[in-house]
Amino acid sequence: MATDLVPEVVQPAAGTSRQAPAPKRKRRTRAQPLWRDLLRYRWLYLLLLPGLAYFVVFKYLPMYGLTIAFKDYVPFLGYSGSEWVGLKHFHELFTGPDFGRLMFNTLLLALLTILFVFPAPIIVALLLNELRVNVLKRSVQSLVYIPHFLSWTIVASLTYLLFSVDFGVIANWIHSIVGGQKTDYVAQAEWFRPLIVLQLLWKQTGWGTIIYLAALAGVDSQLYEAARVDGAGRWRQFWHITLPAIRPTIVVMAILTSGHLMDSGFEQIWLMTTSLNRDVADVFDTFVYYIGITQGAFSYATAVGLFKGVVGVILIFGSNFLAKRLGQRGLF
Amino acid sequence: MKQRVRYYDSVGSRVFDVLNVLFLSGLAIVTVLPLVYVLAGSFATESEISSRPFFLWPKRFVTDTYQYIFSTDTFVRALLTTIGVTAVGTVVQLLLTLTMAYPLAKRFLPGRALVLNLVIFTLVFSGGMIPTYLVVRDLGLLDSYWALILPLAINPFYLIVVKSFFQELPEVLEEAARIDGCNELNVFLRIVLPLSKPIIATFSLFYAVGIWNDYMSPLLYIDDNKKWTLQMIVRQLTAANADSANVLQQLETVTFPEQGLKFAVVVVATLPILFFYPFLQKHFAKGVLIGSVKD
């Protein structure tokens, strides 16, 4: 949720920073050196310091650490002592056997997400909007928001308890209808992607409706009244008022989604990866963990991560640019 | 309202309403059904779990599994660890977020734009898993509980929301305090913080849920299984790639029925979230989050 909503916030932040300082306070001129500002606002800077230290240490130091993607990092030699090797690791990645598979798996999951997971909250929000019994509407909302707050570990466990071959309820239920041999849905490669999509639907659909419901709540009820006076039925009201009202939100969410095509959700995938489904389960995120942490190839793993990160940045700015070209309000 | 109902009286509209109610009620039920089943399963006997296809109420109500897991060191230790890390972590996260958001809300502060841009940039690009892991390792935090807290100390998104909230507080109050001789620190502590109770409540819950649910940090930074959190135990017992034999051995369950155990562990790891859920929902229903996002 966090990353999804962010660029909405980015805009005012960027805008305000360009504004002139409050009129009562003097702008710093050359005659007033830096230390005078520091002294004058010492309490504010003091408050800022711990947070700033956090960003420097845990966000910007790792960015410096990305240099090991171009080195053969040996822990003993450290960042600066390790030898530069140029694009060796990237060459290894692009020509190696894993790249095609990782790209395919990552993009296929992204495609499935766009096809099945992206429209779900829109549909549910529109249906909720048509509910005329408020108590029911609120109860449904309360229940479908719940899974958003559960961890991926819990989701993976529930999947296991429901689908596992020995006592999974749903697995047994399907077996009793279809018959034949029992299928191990949790372990088998061909069931990996359907289960991932199912998990995403269960966990995120309800929560995803919030932003659309907020947009729907903002529609002026006079529009509906006017449409009724003009003789528009329920369907035409939906088509000409409700749908246009949430179109900007849909576009914004689509942009955000396409900016995160490469993010497959490490925890979710990792928890569902088994020895039997690794061929379809491996995505960039889990591959980095596997290569880096499990096998200790820090430099190579960093190169893979950097590649993913750079593509991510390009996607975010690209989709934003595209949105602006299409006449939509961009995100930043 | 009455007119509206009469207007919609067409057959198609009625049919749609009925189907819509059915569909959405069904959706809500399907969403919570797995949770209810797991809860029921945790109180059922081992034979009932394996023999009955599906149930929402156990035939025989037993608490063996709970008595058992709360008697094992491994589980109790993980539970206490998780509670402790969540409590300390939430306090640290709130402190850092609030103290950083306040100066960032002051438009006159020189250097504010630079810091804000540094924060926003981290939303678009990050060093990634391995470089962050190496920083944590170089700080000597591997196998330390701090590794579960410090790398996630500030959520940039929450920071920006809190900053927007501070910006909307009436400037008059702060000015009055300054005229009365308060310095910025006192303005923050005595004026701003007391006014921010709702947002503090909201984000303590969101941060706490985040730490409680975190699986990636313990996976990356904690090797010592004596320092495992609850999520690690849950995963080890019941994930697809679970290494349950290992944990079961640790839990000394050689003779203990293991299926019911899995249900009970999932319930214990979920319950605190469900307990706080009404508060969580109340706060985001108030529009605290969405309101500030739209600003």
pLDDT at A18: 43
- The answer to whether A302 touches A65, Cβ cutoff 8 Å, is yes
> Which CATH code of 1.10.3720.10, 2.30.30.60, 2.60.40.10, 3.30.470.10 fits the domain covering B73-294?
1.10.3720.10
Mutate which of A28, A40, A48 to test chain B, going by most B C-beta atoms within 10 A?
A48
Residue numbers of A between 182 and 241 with CB closer than 8 Å to B: 186-187, 202, 206, 210-211, 214, 228, 233-234
Residue numbers of B between 95 and 154 with CB closer than 8 Å to A: 95-97, 99-104, 106-113, 115-120, 122-135, 139, 150-151, 153-154
Averaged pLDDT score across all residues of chain A: 85
pLDDT at B3: 47
In sign, the C-alpha dihedral spanning A136, A246, A195, B267 is negative
pLDDT at B7: 52
- The answer to whether A298 touches B130, Cβ cutoff 8 Å, is yes
Nearest to A196 by CA among A266, A148, A288, A146: A266
**pLDDT exceeds cutoff 80 at A8:** no
Q: Tell me, what DSSP letter sits at residue B59?
A: S
pLDDT at B119: 94
Residue numbers of A between 127 and 146 with CB closer than 8 Å to B: 127-128, 130-133, 136, 139-140, 142-146
**Among A69-78, A138-147, B255-264, the least confident range:** B255-264
Residue with tokens 């206490």: B80
Rounded Cα distance between A234 and B241, Å, is 50
Give per-residue pLDDT as tens, A96-138: 899 999 999 999 999 999 999 999 999 999 999 999 888 999 9
**How many angstroms away from the CA of B71 is the closest CA of chain A?**
22
pLDDT at A182: 78
CB contact under 8 A, A43 and B184: yes
pLDDT at B243: 58
Task: Tally Cβ neighbours within 10 Å of residue A197.
Answer: 17
Rounded Cα distance between B101 and A48, Å, is 8
CB-based contact, B7 to chain A, within 8 Å: yes
- The answer to whether A256 touches B30, Cβ cutoff 8 Å, is no
Residue numbers of B between 55 and 84 with CB closer than 8 Å to A: none
Give per-residue pLDDT as tens, A20-35: 444 455 555 555 677 8
- The answer to whether A58 touches B220, Cβ cutoff 8 Å, is no
pLDDT at B289: 46
- Any residues with CB less than 8 A from the CB of A286 and at least 6 apart, and which? A264, A266, A269, A270, A273
CB-based contact, B189 to chain A, within 8 Å: no
pLDDT at B294: 37
Domain residue ranges of chain A, discontinuous segments joined by +: 97-325
CB contact under 8 A, A305 and B213: no
pLDDT at B168: 87
**pLDDT band for position B89 (50/70/90)?**
very high
Rounded Cα distance between A233 and A210, Å, is 26
Q: What burial class does residue B289 get, using C-beta atoms within 10 Å of its C-beta: 0-12 exposed, 13-18 middle, 19+ buried?
A: buried
Residue type, B188: F
**pLDDT band for position A59 (50/70/90)?**
very high
Neighboring chain A residues of B103 at a CB cutoff of 8 Å: 41, 44-45, 47-48
**pLDDT band for position A331 (50/70/90)?**
low
**Which among B12, B106, B135 is the nearest to A61, CB-wise?**
B135
* CATH classification (class only), A97-325: mainly alpha
* Predicted TM-score (pTM) of this structure: 0.86
Task: Tally Cβ neighbours within 10 Å of residue A313.
Answer: 13
Residue type, B2: K
* Averaged pLDDT for residues A221-244: 89
- Nearest-Cα residue of chain A relative to residue B32: A143
Give per-residue pLDDT as tens, A157-216: 999 888 887 778 888 888 888 877 777 888 888 999 999 999 999 999 998 998 899 889
Percent of chain B predicted with pLDDT > 90: 45
- Any residues with CB less than 8 A from the CB of A13 and at least 6 apart, and which? B116, B120, B160, B163, B164
Q: What burial class does residue B234 get, using C-beta atoms within 10 Å of its C-beta: 0-12 exposed, 13-18 middle, 19+ buried?
A: buried
**How many angstroms away from the CA of A205 is the closest CA of chain B?**
10
CB-based contact, A96 to chain B, within 8 Å: no
Mutate which of A9, A273, A275, A316 to test chain B, going by most B C-beta atoms within 10 A?
A9
Q: Which residues of B110-120 are buried (b: 16+ CB within 10 A; e: fewer)?
A: bbbbebbeebb
CB-based contact, B193 to chain A, within 8 Å: no
- The more confidently predicted of residues A280 and A172 is A280
**How many angstroms away from the CA of A230 is the closest CA of chain B?**
13
CB-based contact, A159 to chain B, within 8 Å: yes
Which residue intervals of chain B bear CATH 1.10.3720.10? 73-294
- The more confidently predicted of residues A325 and A151 is A151
Task: Tally Cβ neighbours within 10 Å of residue A228.
Answer: 17
* Averaged pLDDT for residues A280-290: 93
Structure tokens at A270: 């990792």
CB contact under 8 A, A43 and B135: no
Alpha helices in chain A (DSSP H): 2-17, 34-40, 42-55, 61-65, 78-81, 88-95, 98-112, 119-130, 134-145, 152-163, 169-178, 192-217, 221-229, 234-237, 243-259, 266-272, 278-281, 284-289, 298-325
Structure tokens at A113: 């997400």
CB contact under 8 A, A160 and B183: no
Nearest to A148 by CA among A289, A4, A245, A263: A4
pLDDT at A79: 83
CB contact under 8 A, A21 and B157: no
pLDDT at A38: 83
Structure tokens at A191: 């069931």
Rounded Cα distance between B207 and B86, Å, is 8
Q: Tell me, what DSSP letter sits at residue A72?
A: E
**pLDDT exceeds cutoff 50 at B36:** yes
**pLDDT band for position B169 (50/70/90)?**
confident
pLDDT at A19: 45
Rounded Cα distance between A57 and A42, Å, is 22
**How many angstroms away from the CA of B226 is the closest CA of chain A?**
19
pLDDT at B246: 61
Averaged pLDDT score across all residues of chain B: 85
Structure tokens at A35: 């230390």
**How many angstroms away from the CA of B97 is the closest CA of chain A?**
7
φ/ψ of residue A193, rounded to 5: -65, -45
Which ipTM value was assigned to this complex? 0.88
Give per-residue pLDDT as tens, B219-241: 999 988 889 999 998 888 776 55
**How many angstroms away from the CA of B52 is the closest CA of chain A?**
9
DSSP letters along A131-181, please? Answer: ---HHHHHHHHHHHHGGGGS-HHHHHHHHHHHH-TTT-HHHHHHHHHH-SS
Structure tokens at A160: 């296991």
Structure tokens at B262: 């899995």
**pLDDT exceeds cutoff 70 at B284:** no
pLDDT at B74: 86
* Averaged pLDDT for residues B69-85: 92
Percent of chain A predicted with pLDDT > 90: 48
**pLDDT exceeds cutoff 80 at B281:** no
Neighboring chain A residues of B37 at a CB cutoff of 8 Å: 161-162, 169
